[in-house]
Amino acid sequence: MSVSVTVVYREARMDLRKVSANCWELPRSGGMRVPGRVYTNAELLTALKREAAGKGGALQQVANVAHLPGIVGASMAMPDIHWGYGFPIGGVAAFDWEEGVISPGGVGYDINCGVRLAGTQLEARAVAPQFEALADALYRAIPAGVGTGGRVKLSAKEERRVLTEGSRWAIEQGFGHAQDIEHTEDGGCLPGADPEVVSARALKRGAGQLGTLGSGNHFLELGVVDAVFAEAEARAFGLFEGQLTVLLHTGSRGFGYQVCDDFLAGMTKAMRSSGLKLPDRQLACAPIQSSTGQRYLAAMACAANYAWANRQVLMHLAEETLQRTLGMGPRDLGLRLVYDLCHNIAKKEVHTVAGREQTLCVHRKGATRAFAPGHPALGPAYRQVGQPIIIPGDMGTASYVLVGTEGAMGETFGSTCHGAGRVLSRKKAKQRSRGRQLHRELADRGVTVRWTGRATLAEEMPEAYKDIEAVVDVVHRAGISRKVARLKPLVVVKG
């Protein structure tokens, strides 16, 4: 079956009905097949409504996604919602595996962009005198910035192994530790990857970028656990107050971007011959069971595996740098991976819908998996306690560790937010930062920062993001994830 799109610019009504203090519903209207559901609070919602008063913004995108064939339950948005390509960033949508569609816009350009958190056995205050030296050393050791190449140069054969093996390939090459696999979502390897469906251009872009941080909101950060909210879960995750931590955020780099671009172009072209009416061309999609849908899933898995290998290499480089700069061995540093998880992905999962189990394709775009204790997809390390969730904030405030809940399994297909979420465009952030010495402002907050791009600090200024405390409070109070610990940034390296 081929699917194409006729664009109809008829907005759904933006009248939101309050379900609870932290959840609002956008009723079905026009061609919406399901309602929209937005997890937020009154204060955050005010800004969303202000945006919607113009062209509809991210709320309109929630309604747009609800038009897609095979969508189940509701088109959802987390409190970090902001405008994205086709789907809102912070969006969650699940589609029937047999009758539904797959949409690259519901995954995003940076496939398996994700975060990776490790704890050390050191107290942050013990190494505070060396923060400047650590910032310099990490900046030199971690390749970052637009188009940057890494130290790992892949042959064609090895690149294909990366695309099919993910984290396992990196560990076999000496990057990290065998036990890291147990602490990585899906064991660091999504099944079904097929390099044969990937374009030559994507392969070329991926060959030289493994082990690189990228630019924009990607970062490597040394932090401190400054608060623990759930003692048992924190112990299970290996976290304690005052602990020095390592957090990094990056994805599949130019390889994933090219995979997305290639399939968006192909799907958009193919969809012109069908009568399916959708409100936005950026919702280009294909039936999951079509040859195009299966090829995209195979290529997406390649990009996901590339991203997991990338973060595996980067954390190893960070560990080596810490050891060298602090003059200690691996035992003294005691670096241990807490978890690595993705927030731009579509996955085949089984969920209970209307009282019965249903196989779905769950799109999480700027959203994080939040599986509850006992879920069979969790490895033995965390099956009893629940999945660790890592929510990075802006570089001047805080990040959070949460844990998955039964509430998420029942309401959001096991999903929660992925970060603070932008509130200012990069252009507006640069305008607001003119004349300011942002690195000095961050230093006054106790944050040592190093950066590559000339405009990076301006685009990523703390005010460009929503209040991470408010965003995390929403998902905590809504019961779709639960707070475990808060991390404060100390040293930040930006691309």
Dig out the tokens for 153 from the structure.
Answer: 């140069």
* pLDDT at position 55: 61
CA distance linking residue 31 with residue 135, whole number of Å: 52
Domain 6-494 indexed as CATH 3.90.1860.10: yes
What parts of the chain have a pLDDT lower than 50?
1-12
* pLDDT at position 257: 97
* pLDDT at position 145: 73
Closest CA to 226 of 397, 480, 386: 397
Active site residues: 418
Residues 6+ apart with CB under 8 A from 310: 209, 210, 211, 212, 250, 251, 252, 253
Could you tell me the residue ranges of all domains in the chain?
6-494
Q: Which amino acid is at 90?
A: G
**Reduced to 3 states, what is the DSSP secondary structure of residue 138?**
helix
Backbone angles phi and psi of 153, in degrees to 5: -105, 120
Cα→Cα distances 414→272, 351, 386, 421, Å: 34, 8, 11, 19
Residues 6+ apart with CB under 8 A from 387: 185, 339, 341, 369, 370, 371, 372, 375, 378, 403, 404
The angle subtended at Cα 274 by Cα 269 and Cα 276, nearest 5°, is 110
Residues 6+ apart with CB under 8 A from 230: 403, 482, 483, 484, 485
Residues 6+ apart with CB under 8 A from 407: 478, 479, 480
Cα atoms in the Cβ-side hemisphere of radius 13 Å centred on 56: 20
Whole-model pTM: value is 0.95
* pLDDT at position 264: 95
Closest CA to 410 of 81, 16, 37: 37
* pLDDT at position 453: 75
CA distance linking residue 439 with residue 452, whole number of Å: 13
CA distance linking residue 10 with residue 346, whole number of Å: 28
Cα→Cα distances 145→64, 151, 253, Å: 34, 14, 10
* pLDDT at position 5: 33
Residues 6+ apart with CB under 8 A from 355: none
**Reduced to 3 states, what is the DSSP secondary structure of residue 35?**
coil
Model pLDDT for residues 444-481, shown as the tens digit of each residue: 999 999 998 778 899 999 999 999 999 999 999 999 99
CA distance linking residue 447 with residue 469, whole number of Å: 18
Model pLDDT for residues 395-444, shown as the tens digit of each residue: 999 999 999 999 999 999 999 999 999 988 899 999 998 989 999 999 99
